[in-house]
Amino acid sequence: MAESKKAIGMDVWNREFQEVTVRKEDMNKLVMNFLVTEGFADAAKTFGFESGTKHIDLATVKAGRMVVKKAVQNGHVLDAIEKIHNLDPAILYKYPKALFSLEQQFFIELIRYRRIEEAMIFALGALAPMAEQNGFLEEFERTFSLLVFYDVANNPVSDLLKMSRRNETARVVNEAILISQTNEKEAKLYSLLKMLAWVDKELDKKVTYPRLQDFSTCELEASDMISGCHTFSFSSSHPNI
């Protein structure tokens, strides 16, 4: 017979939450790490001023990863590659996924502007060998299929032409630059969320409890449960978050 799960009620859950103390300084560092890692230099500068949180040289972030990110998001792939080489010529050689993502995006931009002949030459001469050499053939084949459909907007891979595709390329490139500069792959907040998801999964095996249903709102599963977001106690004399 399967062992029954232990049940933790809302009263116990809230009482345990009330006993947890999270220092405001630690929360501010987490926010600052996210802003700097994601390249939001202006927001990081404002947040640092208001919260008193120290940060790295934001001018480097703004002149480096930010300009590369904006270039990719605007579809200016060759400009982005040039800026990356100015930062560190070795980055794209050390991180082939970033290089392939940029070359893939360049091909997509050629298709977007109906430069079909150039796109074909580039795909066969540069993108295909890069994909074969580094194990990206499946992604190459999917991208190459853009050439098959005359009606670009209504083909099965039209998602590649959306802004979200540029954003994904910018994310991959930003990650490569970030690892090269700081040895960090992503913001610490993402790691904490992954850890929280893992802990929830492990708890589900043993107990029933007021499970967090929505990370963005801190909403718990039951409709009559009070959100746990405001029950944390922040110990800090600083008036600003």
Spans of all domains in the chain: 6-38+187-234, 58-182
d(CA 123, CA 104): 8
d(CA 208, CA 31): 31
Q: Give the per-residue pLDDT at 103.
A: 96
Q: Which two tokens stand for residue 24?
A: 């405001």
Q: Which two tokens stand for residue 107?
A: 């091909």
Low-confidence ranges of the chain (pLDDT < 70): 1-3, 39, 55-63, 150-153, 182-188, 190, 214-218, 220-241
Identify the CA nearest to 51 among candidates 231, 236, 188: 236
Q: Give the per-residue pLDDT at 3.
A: 61
Query: Is 0.75 topped by the overall pTM?
Result: no
Q: What is the CA radius of gyration of the chain?
A: 23
Q: Give the per-residue pLDDT at 231.
A: 39
Q: Give the per-residue pLDDT at 216.
A: 67
d(CA 32, CA 187): 10
